[in-house]
């Protein structure tokens, strides 16, 4: 590992990763090689610096300086009640549901279940496939070579969800995936290791198949840890997927994620991104419309309080003609929170007749303490396209507030009702059976009195 420690060697942090990297169990040759190369790239890249393009508003210095070790899970007798006590709209514990649970990124068979629909599909732990199948093509995308967190994830690639739906199969019930990361509680002592999980997941939809997938990221209250998640989704021609990621991490955690989607001809993807928790959050989305007539909707909601920092950086990549993309992100910012939205739309030379609309709307609840940065970025290399974007930052409508109060609703209740109403259309786009109602109830409880 001669490439180790170019600029951060003095902190000893890379030594920590190197020691862990060297200690990894031997795996199939393809995986070992994949990880080795990824670790090499990660050490060359280093953690993103806040002077680096795309990271100016989100400083990852705290992550670069911290030491992370997976925290041993408590015995199931203690963990299960804790887990069940969490209000997780995306997780269905009832019988017949398909549910994959990962603790610290490792498959927890005892907490997972496969419903009747899973029969005919390949749904389960990714690690179980390693021995028999070389999956490197799915983990080694050229467009991710320069992304340090993806490389770090790959360097420690061990497990995650594998969802493979064969061509033509239409699933009725959602597949729920829960990632629980355990951390450390109490004050952070200098040099003390925090928890970490780096799940890696893969969703492959065969031509003409249809599915609903819900990913939930959760932690236990006020624990410290880093979740660095990567998921790759591939939709065959005419496939349809509604994918929801619900981020409910602990308020003292760091959550970094990468969602990469590739769509075939006439496929349809709706991807919801509901960010509710986390202390420092960076979500990267790269949606590639790689077949003619593909449709992609990115629908996002972030609700921030206290000192939360949530950065959504999305790239909608129109590579083929006649693609349609819709991006609707809404944020509600309270306290001293910081919201960042970077929405990039690329229309490649081949992608004629692209129709892309991007909208980012924000509601600032506190007078001046919360800040929001919204940046659209259009790169259009085709001449016959329609691309629009718009961003707004506003406060509660005083006219509406007075109207509600003039009918007898209290000030606080009126405020919460208007906040809920602001977010309602984002939730209204959720079509996954049973999910919208649960999300609405959760947000209602958060905002309504």
Partner 1 sequence: MPQAATAASGSGPTDKDESAGLQMLEIKNLHAKVKGREILRGLDLSLKAGEVHAIMGPNGSGKSTLAQVLAGRDTYEVTDGTVTYQGQDLLALSPEDRARAGVFLAFQYPVEIPGVSNNYFLRTALNAVRKYQGQEELDAVDFLALVQKKMQLLHMDEALMKRAVNEGFSGGEKKRNEIFQMAVLEPRLAILDETDSGLDIDALKTVAAGVNALRAPDRTVLLVTHYQRLLTYIVPDYVHVLSAGQIVKSGGKELALELEDKGYQWLGEPDLVAGA
**85, 397, 433, 445: residue in contact with partner 1 (rule CB under 8 A):** 397
What is the residue-wise DSSP string for 361-410? EEEE-SSSS-EEEEEEEEEE--SS-EEEEEEEEE---HHHHHHHHTTT--
Q: Which residues contact 29 (CB under 8 A, 6 or more apart)?
A: none
Closest CB to partner 1 among 71 and 414? 414
Burial class (CB in 10 A: 0-12, 13-18, 19+), 332: buried
Q: How many binding residues for partner 1 (CB under 8 A)?
A: 24
**Least distance CB 439 / partner 1 (angstroms):** 14
**Least distance CB 312 / partner 1 (angstroms):** 21
**Least distance CB 421 / partner 1 (angstroms):** 3
**Least distance CB 303 / partner 1 (angstroms):** 15
**82, 96, 110, 402: residue in contact with partner 1 (rule CB under 8 A):** 402
Stretch that binds partner 1, among 10-18, 129-137, 237-245, 392-400 (CB under 8 A): 392-400
Whether the Cβ atoms of residue 224 and residue 178 lie closer than 8 Å to each other:
no
- Of residues 294 through 323, those in contact with partner 1 by CB under 8 A are none
CA distance 45 to 75: 38
Closest CB to partner 1 among 384 and 437? 437
**Least distance CB 24 / partner 1 (angstroms):** 49
Q: Which two tokens stand for residue 383?
A: 């001449």
301 CB-side CA count, 13 A: 24
Q: Binding of partner 1 at residue 396 (CB under 8 A)? A: no
Q: Which two tokens stand for residue 169?
A: 């199969």
**Least distance CB 338 / partner 1 (angstroms):** 25
**Least distance CB 110 / partner 1 (angstroms):** 41
Whether the Cβ atoms of residue 170 and residue 238 lie closer than 8 Å to each other:
no
Closest CB to partner 1 among 127 and 423? 423
Closest CB to partner 1 among 179 and 447? 447
DSSP at 72: P
Closest CB to partner 1 among 270 and 423? 423
Closest CB to partner 1 among 102 and 422? 422
**Least distance CB 440 / partner 1 (angstroms):** 11
- Of residues 187 through 206, those in contact with partner 1 by CB under 8 A are none
The distance between the two most distant Cα atoms of the chain, rounded to a whole number of Å, is 71
Closest CB to partner 1 among 62 and 445? 445
- Of residues 404 through 443, those in contact with partner 1 by CB under 8 A are 404-411, 413-414, 417-418, 420-425
b/e map of 132-144 (b: 16 or more CB within 10 Å)? eeebeeebeeeeb
Closest CB to partner 1 among 273 and 414? 414
**Least distance CB 447 / partner 1 (angstroms):** 12
Stretch that binds partner 1, among 72-80, 139-147, 185-193, 395-403 (CB under 8 A): 395-403
If we measure between CA atoms, which residue out of 249, 351, 352, 363 comes closest to residue 301?
A: 363
b/e map of 96-122 (b: 16 or more CB within 10 Å)? ebbbbbbbbbbbbeebbbbbebbeebe
Closest CB to partner 1 among 243 and 328? 328
Distances (CA, A) of 131 to 105, 155, 304, 411: 18, 18, 42, 61
Quick one: how far is CA 390 from the chain centroid?
23
Q: Which two tokens stand for residue 211?
A: 């599915």
Closest CB to partner 1 among 79 and 301? 301
CA distance 311 to 304: 11
CA distance 344 to 50: 19
Looking up tokens 């960042």, which residue turns up? 340
**Least distance CB 431 / partner 1 (angstroms):** 18
Site string for partner 1, 334-363 (x = CB under 8 A): ------------------------------
Residue ranges that bind partner 1, judged by CB under 8 A: 397-400, 402-411, 413-414, 417-418, 420-425
């Amino acid at each position: 590992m001669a490439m180790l420690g170019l600029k951060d060697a003095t902190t000893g942090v890379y030594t920590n990763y190197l020691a862990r990297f060297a200690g990894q169990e031997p795996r199939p040759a393809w995986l070992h090689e994949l990880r080795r190369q990824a670790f090499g790239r990660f050490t060359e890249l280093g953690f993103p610096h806040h002077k680096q393009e795309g990271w100016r508003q989100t400083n990852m210095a705290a992550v670069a300086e911290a030491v992370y070790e997976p925290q041993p899970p408590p015995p199931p007798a203690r963990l299960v009640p804790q887990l069940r006590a969490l209000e997780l709209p995306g997780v269905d514990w009832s019988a017949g549901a398909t549910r994959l649970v990962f603790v610290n990124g490792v498959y927890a068979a005892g907490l997972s279940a496969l419903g009747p629909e899973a029969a005919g599909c390949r749904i389960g732990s990714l690690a179980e496939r390693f021995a028999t199948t070389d999956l490197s093509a799915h983990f080694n995308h050229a467009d991710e070579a320069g992304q340090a967190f993806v490389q770090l994830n790959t360097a420690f690639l061990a497990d995650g969800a594998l969802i493979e739906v064969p061509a033509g199969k239409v699933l009725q019930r959602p597949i729920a995936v829960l990632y629980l990361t355990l951390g450390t509680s109490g004050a952070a002592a200098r040099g003390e290791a925090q928890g970490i999980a780096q799940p890696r997941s893969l969703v492959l939809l065969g031509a003409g198949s249809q599915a609903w997938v819900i990913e939930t990221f959760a932690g236990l209250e006020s624990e410290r840890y880093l979740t660095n998640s990567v998921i790759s989704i591939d939709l065959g021609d005419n496939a349809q997927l509604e994918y929801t990621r619900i981020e409910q991490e602990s308020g003292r955690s760091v959550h970094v994620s990468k969602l990469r989607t590739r769509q075939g001809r006439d496929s349809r993807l709706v991807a919801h991104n509901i960010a509710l928790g986390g202390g420092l959050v960076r979500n990267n989305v790269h949606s590639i419309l790689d077949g003619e007539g593909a449709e992609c909707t990115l629908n996002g909601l972030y609700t921030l309080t206290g000192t939360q920092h949530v950065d959504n950086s999305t790239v909608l990549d129109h590579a083929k003609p006649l693609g349609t993309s819709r991006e609707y992100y809404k944020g509600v910012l309270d306290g001293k929170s910081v919201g960042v939205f970077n929405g990039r739309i690329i229309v490649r030379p081949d992608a004629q007749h692209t129709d892309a609309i991007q909208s980012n709307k924000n509601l600032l609840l506190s007078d001046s303490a919360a800040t929001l940065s919204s940046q659209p970025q259009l790169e259009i290399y085709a001449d016959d396209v329609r691309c629009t974007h718009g961003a707004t930052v506003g406060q509660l409508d005083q006219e509406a507030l007075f109207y509600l109060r003039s009918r007898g609703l209290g000030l606080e209740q009126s405020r919460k009702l208007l906040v809920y109403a602001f977010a309602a259309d984002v939730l209204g786009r959720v079509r996954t059976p049973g999910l919208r109602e649960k999300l609405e109830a959760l947000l209602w409880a958060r905002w309504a009195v």
